[in-house]
Structure 1
């Protein structure tokens, strides 16, 4: 075969192959481009760990009184914040070395904020606060602070003034009784306010006192209340935490007041009203400040104006004109126009302790160490 013939056959084969390829390409469906791979889902931000908050109570929670009122405040925190806050409490903690051990243990457990709810917890909390600078410490009723420890308090003296107005109206003997815990300023100003309130409607009032040197001890409180009744007191007020004083008045056919929380159910015949404190609003604010990073060491004292204190469940035995007077005084307290400690005020030795025209401000109230005119006896030594 000649070279020319070979070249002709090769060209013919190449042309045939090319034609076949074009036919196959024309007869095949065009395939869609593959879809891009989906972007990976964004990872959810991890939920913040709940705040751990703890409370230390000087007495049992029970169903009335000081520790019960604070525990209602703790429950208000749980209701407000839900799973954002985990709360715990330790009850019946004695003031002193045991308190330091309990507060330290709560700090070591990772609680970010700890509330100690009795005056005698102040020094133990200060010690623990120095060792845990990243924990926030809050102390009820004290006066000492630290960079990570602050103070909160209620104006119970406003409640006791209102109770005094009722007592001065209801007494038949003109002798009132007062069961005191410790003769410290917060308790003395409550006693003095009670007396001033009673004298505002009945200048003949005198007040007898018995001091039990404890916050919660029902047998001691019962004994003190009975002693006052035996001395002629027919209306009793307490600065202790159980229902014992009120129940003792009930058994003796006398009158008394609930303290710290609504105690009307425990002695329906004796109960004239209950001096209460609502801690929930303060505790909620403290947690909100911790969450927002705005918590700062300071002293907070709230009262009737802020809705922390009140005198509730006034008995229908109290005359309508007295109830109207209470409403008027409360309105003044809320507006900031009514002051309980308004001079001149004399102590029971005749010494002027607040000049005419002067008002007992917070600094003055913090230093109360006397009985006003009308209270029998002397302030116990050691105050």
Structure 2
């Protein structure tokens, strides 16, 4: 009897275990979250030492700070209709967000965005927008102005050379704001402008710098995408001012790096990450972003040890006024090449006028070919 009772208990225990095991619900593994696919389109090589490299640094920043994103890039994409295929191909491949980083991509992006409403597009320096196409840029005129202060104190010939790619508004803003700073500290100084008609062409850029050095310019300012103008300045024993990235950091020797007085630089990474996050969380909307030094999207690179400390101190004082919102390089009075006051004292040029700017301030030597704004 005792044996039967024990056997019954054992059988019940086995039945409970088997029954419990049989009632378990199968656990379905949670599929990994789909990564956001983001593409960047560059007008120059990703390692051009300038503008496209600055955007590439921004892409890498996103990749390093968001594990839920997959990024890629296309480089050396010509502006105009040729770029449209690149944007359409990325949209067809299922990319969620596409950044086009050059002004001349504008119409191509408008067309691609119209036919791909599920894809979000962001265009740097443009002004055409739609429900799925936004625009963005930075107020580079702020560090442009500060670098003009440096040049005004360092020139001996009072002649500055500025190498520009095109005569579009963003380039004219750079020259004007630089010249405002230059003549604030050195009213006798002038800026001579030459154009390369290309964003990235190191040979043309170097030749343009040589032509300015021949005219006795002793500070060469780059507004193009490679360090070639600064290389030529150093070879001639003159100074340079860089563009897009801290060009002193890329120079071959300490002496050459010292010849780069400073650079006006882009810091795209945090902004790109913010846009990516907004797409991920569903808060993205089309619009226009135009940030400045306060946002950190533009900055002045460290100033060379060749520059006296009192000059650096003055630049920092003026920089603080910009950061505090108490000064802009487009505060009046602003006088054009013909001596006409265009922006009266006590006023500031509007953003709309800055976006279509097509006149040089007093002190600039050179014309503005009609290439659009």
TM-score, normalised to structure 2's length?
Answer: 0.93
Q: What residue in structure 2 maps to residue 249 of structure 1?
A: 233
The Cα of 1:24 is off from its aligned counterpart by 9.6
Greater RCO between the two (CA within 8 Å, min separation 6)?
Answer: 2
The answer as to whether partners of 2:161 and 2:221 remain within 8 angstroms in 1 is yes
Does 2:29 correspond to 1:40?
no
Choose the corresponding residue for 1:49, options 11, 14, 34.
34
The Cα of 1:212 is off from its aligned counterpart by 1.0
Choose the corresponding residue for 2:312, options 323, 334, 345.
323
Alignment partner of 2:44: what SS? coil
Q: What residue in structure 1 maps to residue 325 of structure 2?
A: 336
Q: What residue in structure 2 maps to residue 290 of structure 1?
A: 279
Q: What residue in structure 1 maps to residue 263 of structure 2?
A: 274
Greater Cα offset, 256-265 or 107-116? 256-265
Closer, same or farther in 2 for the Cα pair 1:345/1:26, shift >3 Å? closer
Map 1:58-137 → 2, pairs under 5 A: 58-62=43-47, 64-82=49-67, 84-137=68-121
The answer as to whether partners of 1:64 and 1:262 remain within 8 angstroms in 2 is no
Does 2:344 correspond to 1:361?
no
What is the distance in 1 between the residues matched to 2:72 and 2:104? 20
Closer, same or farther in 2 for the Cα pair 1:317/1:245, shift >3 Å? same
Unaligned runs of 5+ in 2: none
Report the RMSD for the aligned CA atoms in angstroms: 1.6
What is the distance in 2 between the residues matched to 1:123 and 1:379? 23
What is the distance in 2 between the residues matched to 1:27 and 1:220? 101
What is the distance in 2 between the residues matched to 1:45 and 1:360? 55
The Cα of 1:41 is off from its aligned counterpart by 4.2
Q: What residue in structure 1 maps to residue 336 of structure 2?
A: 347
The answer as to whether partners of 1:306 and 1:334 remain within 8 angstroms in 2 is no
Largest Rg, 1 or 2:
1
What is the distance in 2 between the residues matched to 1:353 and 1:379? 17
Q: What residue in structure 2 maps to residue 240 of structure 1?
A: 224
Greater Cα offset, 322-331 or 26-35? 26-35
The Cα of 1:146 is off from its aligned counterpart by 0.8
The Cα of 1:37 is off from its aligned counterpart by 2.1
What is the distance in 2 between the residues matched to 1:74 and 1:345? 38
What is the distance in 1 between the residues matched to 2:85 and 2:304? 43
Alignment partner of 1:30: what SS? helix
Alignment partner of 1:207: what SS? strand
Alignment partner of 1:162: what SS? helix
Unaligned runs of 5+ in 1: 1-22
Would you say how many aligned residue pairs link Structure 1 and Structure 2? 360
